[in-house]
Structure 1
Amino acid sequence: MTATAPATAAAPPETGVRRASRAFDRHPRVGLGMLLGLPVGWLVAVYVVSLGFLLITALWQTDSFTNEVRMDWTLDNVARVVSQELYRAVTFRTLGTAVLVTLIDVAIALPVGYAMAKVFGPRARAALVIAFLMPLWASYLVKAYAWRSIFIEGGLLSSLGITPGFGEIATVVTLSYIWLPYVVMPIYAGFERVPDSLVEASSDLGARNLRTFASVVLPLMYPAIIAGAIFSFSLTLGDYIAVRIVGGSTQFLGTIIYDNVGVAGNVPMAAAVALVPIVIILLFLLAVRRTGALRNL
């Protein structure tokens, strides 16, 4: 009986998909560029281009009688925002509130995130993660109106003899609560990345818990703290809904922008005011970038 040679498998047919796959293997940067091209292009078209149109709109004028926007180039709107006392006062109030909300959220998130990552066991950690993520399942308006029912006359605080009413205090408390999950989760993730061996080594060298936290853990936490601070600071800076609900007569940059668009119909003036939080955010990011924290995010 004669042996037969084993049959060889037929080569797969050459197709355009296979040729493209081999080309991407030889040039991985081209494949990465095509993968990220659509989302990056969408980001540029929606965000960067819209900011450019915003700047252009701020240089137009609105007819005082008909409220029609005229494409007459002028710096009057920007000059009013810079020179008038009203806009300066609202800018400082908004900036101060954003800083205060950020400090409150970071002060709460640091011990909570440390306990979640280094103290509690897996079950308690999972329960706390769910507890801090659960408010995100509720609508923004539901949370804001819930705090309104607490601060309103005859609400929970009034029954306890505390009557802060609507205003800046109610705004700070409400925004601190709403943005807290956005600060807790990055800080919790940052604590999880801190090696336990560093904490144990510091303890073995005689450092107490506070010294270990300040000298070993906290320097490693700067990127996570900055990430959470960017969320709370920027979101507070542009908020206007919660201010309307619990702020009473308090004016923020967001409410002025809303009033100029929805009430006065002065879109160029609203665009000029909108440039203020944009500039503040850019300055904040530049200041953070100089610390080197953004490179480690």
Structure 2
Amino acid sequence: MAWLVVAYLGSLAVLLVSAFWTTNSFTGAVVHTVTGDNVIRAVTDEVFRTVTVRTVGVALLVTVLCAVLAVPLGLYMAKIASPRTRLALVVAVTTPLWASYLVKAYAWRVMLSPDGPMSWATGYTPGYGLVATVITLTYLWLPYMIIPVFAAFERVPNHLVDASSDLGASDLSTLRMVVAPLVFPGIAAGSIFTFSLSLGDYIAVTIVGGKTQMLGNIIYGQLVTANNQPLAAALSIIPLAAVILYLLAMRRTGALENV
């Protein structure tokens, strides 16, 4: 708890404070003069608002795609696959987590290039841009959705499914009324990872996004290229607030209480 308070919450406090500082227009040095200009600009600037909407939209889309892919795979792994197949699938899902982030991102850059394997195999590739960013982020964070969903399906008692079938419910009705409420906490837990990781990502969009801008690389550009730490800190408040709001929304569903 001490490490969390000092290293994490302490750094967030410094971040929030530095958002209200300014910079010297000539030297670019940070000036500890309190001003709200950076926060106002981060909220009202049309470019920043457009990028914010795009970033939140991408994070939500990646979360939905990960859930759509993870639910049937998690169901198969937990309830249908043989023990040997289940072990093989668990290894297949977790092995990419040991690979370098950059290796995986650049692998998708090769896959999606105009002359890459996808173009050879299908005759079509989305190229570099927003679609490529969504595909890459979905691949990168999919294991973080599959693992909690698989664990949630494993915790569903088989006798509840048998009882539902004995009472005349169809397979679809059993999935909707019996299994889905029990698995939803796992989906909610996985969505927290996929949403927050996509929201803060700035490397994948740089590699496969082409001219696409997201909040992460805007913040990085302000901090490194423009040397404007206060504005970067003010922009960082936006994804932080979005994650907090998302957590509160998940909490209101009651899903996190059972995770």
Q: In 1, distance between residues paired with 2:54 and 2:202?
A: 13
Query: 1:118: how far off?
Result: 0.4
- Farther-moved stretch of structure 1 (218-227 vs 139-148): 218-227
Instruction: Describe the superposition over 1:249-284 as per-residue Cα deviations: whole angstroms up to 9, x where unpaired.
Output: 110000011001110110000000000000001111
Instruction: Describe the superposition over 1:123-172 as per-residue Cα deviations: whole angstroms up to 9, x where unpaired.
Output: 11101000101111110000000000011121112223213110000000
Q: In 2, distance between residues paired with 1:290 and 1:261?
A: 35
Aligned to 1:194: 156
Aligned to 2:87: 126
Q: In 1, distance between residues paired with 2:118 and 2:30?
A: 46
**1:151-170 mapped onto 2 (5 Å cutoff):** 151-159=112-120, 160-170=122-132
Aligned to 1:184: 146
**1:81-96 mapped onto 2 (5 Å cutoff):** 81-96=42-57
Q: In 2, distance between residues paired with 1:252 and 1:194?
A: 39
Q: Give the TM-score normalised by the residue count of structure 2.
A: 0.98
Instruction: Describe the superposition over 1:27-67 as per-residue Cα deviations: whole angstroms up to 9, x where unpaired.
Output: xxxxxxxxxxxxx1101111111110000000000112211
Q: In 2, distance between residues paired with 1:200 and 1:121?
A: 19
Q: Which of 201, 219, 230 is the matching residue for 1:268?
A: 230
Aligned to 1:218: 180
Q: In 2, distance between residues paired with 1:233 and 1:214?
A: 24
Instruction: Describe the superposition over 1:185-220 as per-residue Cα deviations: whole angstroms up to 9, x where unpaired.
Output: 000000010100000011111111111101100001
Aligned to 1:205: 167
Q: In 2, distance between residues paired with 1:125 and 1:267?
A: 48
> Which structure 1 residue ranges, 4+ long, deviate > 6 Å from structure 2?
none
1:51 aligns with 2:7: no
* Secondary structure of residue in 2 paired with 1:65: coil
Q: In 1, distance between residues paired with 2:73 and 2:165?
A: 21
Q: In 2, distance between residues paired with 1:163 and 1:194?
A: 40
1:290 aligns with 2:219: no
* Secondary structure of residue in 2 paired with 1:254: helix
Residue identity in the other structure for 1:41? A
Q: Which of 91, 96, 102 is the matching residue for 1:141?
A: 102
Q: In 1, distance between residues paired with 2:152 and 2:119?
A: 39
| Higher RCO (CA-CA < 8 Å; seq separation 6+) | 2
- Computing the radius of gyration over CA atoms, which structure comes out larger, 1 or 2? 1
Aligned length: 258
Q: In 2, distance between residues paired with 1:186 and 1:44?
A: 27
Q: In 2, distance between residues paired with 1:156 and 1:63?
A: 49
Task: Identify unmatched segments of 5+ residues in structure 2.
Answer: none
1:242 aligns with 2:192: no
- Provide the alpha-carbon RMSD of the alignment: 0.7
Q: In 2, distance between residues paired with 1:251 and 1:127?
A: 38
Q: In 2, distance between residues paired with 1:158 and 1:292?
A: 45
Q: In 2, distance between residues paired with 1:193 and 1:127?
A: 20
- Farther-moved stretch of structure 1 (159-168 vs 170-179): 159-168
Aligned to 2:136: 174
Residue identity in the other structure for 1:53? V
Q: In 1, distance between residues paired with 2:26 and 2:118?
A: 46
Aligned to 1:113: 74
